[in-house]
Amino acid sequence: MFIAPAFAQGAAPAAGMDFMSFLPMIVIFVLFYFMLIRPQQKRAKEQQAMLAALAKGDEVVTSGGMAGRIAKVNEQYVTLELADGVEILFQRAAVAARLEKGTIKNNK
């Protein structure tokens, strides 16, 4: 005979939902949390604290790259003095970073 007879095999063992089958997914989630989610939340908190602490006279850089000194601070807006007599109104959220005092003066 060219074709071997096929015999029925016994029932397959039931696939158990044990802890070890979920362990790789749990490990991946824990790694994602500590390497991606947690640092992102920490940076967001630091950014919010920096925005809340903005005061007149601080030197900042906006997300568009404009560097200037804060002339006025409002609840939602910040007026930056880019040069003598040149002021621009920005949203407070557009401030990307606070600079050290004297940074702008040293770069002119």
Confidence (pLDDT) at 10: 63
- 4 lies in a domain? no
Q: Tell me, what's the pLDDT at 50?
A: 95
Q: How far apart are CA 42 and CA 52, in angstroms?
A: 15
Pair 67, 107 in one domain: yes
Strand order of the sheet with strand 86-91? 86-91, 77-83, 67-73, 59-62, 95-98
Query: Could you tell me if 24 and 59 lie in one domain?
Result: no
Helix ranges (DSSP H) in 1-108: 19-32, 38-52, 103-107
Per-10-residue mean pLDDT of the chain, 108 residues long, equals: 69 63 91 94 95 94 94 94 93 94 74
Looking at the structure, tell me whether residues 73 and 62 fall in a common domain: yes
Domain encompassing residue 38: 20-53
pTM (2 decimals)?
Answer: 0.67
